[in-house]
Amino acid sequence: MALFGRRSQPATPLDGVDTVLADLDGVVYAGAGALPHAVESLTRARDGRALGYITNNASRTDASVAAHLSDLGLPTRPDEVVTSPQAAMRLLSQRIAPGSTILVVGGDGLVDEVNKAGFIVTRSAEDAPSAVVQGFAPEVGWTQLAEAAFALKVPEEEGGIPWIATNTDWTIPQARGVAPGNGTLVSAVHTAIGRLATVAGKPEVPIFEEAVARFGARHPLFLGDRLDTDILGANRAGIPSALVLTGIDRPKHVLAAPAGSQPTFILGDLRELHEPYPDVKVADGRATVRGATVAIDGPDVRIVSEGERPIDLLRAGAAAIWSTGRAIFGFRVPERLYADPFHRP
């Protein structure tokens, strides 16, 4: 991984990349407004590369997302947006007959993809749907969740119908703070019926495979703000990743990241895509990033030197802890190491 690699002259995270694939919420924007430095950094990243977007948010169409990005100053076509409803339709087409009726729990983004895939939309379990597909929308309430539970009362292994969730993100960043995501709504149905949904979006691989195929990417880089969906999914798909600290996950989450959810790069914000990424040197229980050094001393994580930049201290701390292969709860970690001076919504 590049995080632990050695270079005589550090390269930027974008060197050698032909396609940048970015998450949206927490990376490009929070709510309606762009995050600081996102628009100019992504505009610059697009020079000589393809730029696409991967989103688990099922509440809007690809066209509406593209229009939103264009309004923010990132000119985008609908086919440059890969959504979890599109991944869900890929899964459904493999499991039910063309033209089947599907009970939809969600908003316009999901309904639009169901229609484009040639299926029939219903909101009622009484219409004997062949499957249930569930995605986030602000208007989803008890009535839609109850209809899903009614339709899914028979387990699939006993002849029940498939249940596809576009994603299971527990939270979604908004301008006013962090709000419940689709995972909480899927969990409500699960609690009622005791079944588990098949997940189409991140951290599952199909949505990444769709994006790579659509852009013909040979050397992609994925940008995300969540370890449990964005980074885990990119790792599963074999795509290098950058975690940007402008969304959900914070320094304490980075330090605790398990092996499958560790990013290739850690960025304070998207400006650092264009900066040389420093070498991370790990030896004899110490990790050094420029002037920051963190040492492992038995159960203690010790800051030897803080360096000049908080992001380098975090990189060094993560490298030191990750290199042990031990879980974070086995260490005593100084509060200074997971201080959080980075922007978030």
Residues with active-site annotation: 23, 25
Sheet (strand 300-306) strand order? 280-283, 286-289, 292-297, 300-306
Cα–Cα dist 18/90, whole Å: 25
DSSP secondary structure string for all residues of 9-35: SPPPTTTT-SEEEE--BTTTEETTEEP
First-to-final CA distance of the chain? 29
CA dihedral defined by 93, 98, 104, 109, rounded to 10 degrees? 70
Task: Give the separation between CA 201 and CA 134, rounded to whole angstroms.
Answer: 11
How far apart CA 226 and CA 48 sit, in angstroms, is 27
Instruction: For residue 39, give every residue at least 6 positions away whose Cβ sits within 8 Å of its Cβ, in sequence order, or none.
Output: 28, 72, 73, 74
Q: Is the peptide bond before 220 cis (omega within 30 degrees of 0)?
A: no
Q: Which residues contact 91 (CB under 8 A, 6 or more apart)?
A: 164, 198, 200, 206
- Cα 270 to the chain's mean position, in Å? 15
Instruction: Give the residue ranges of DSSP H helices in the chain.
Output: 38-45, 62-71, 84-93, 108-116, 142-151, 182-193, 206-215, 232-237, 251-255, 310-324
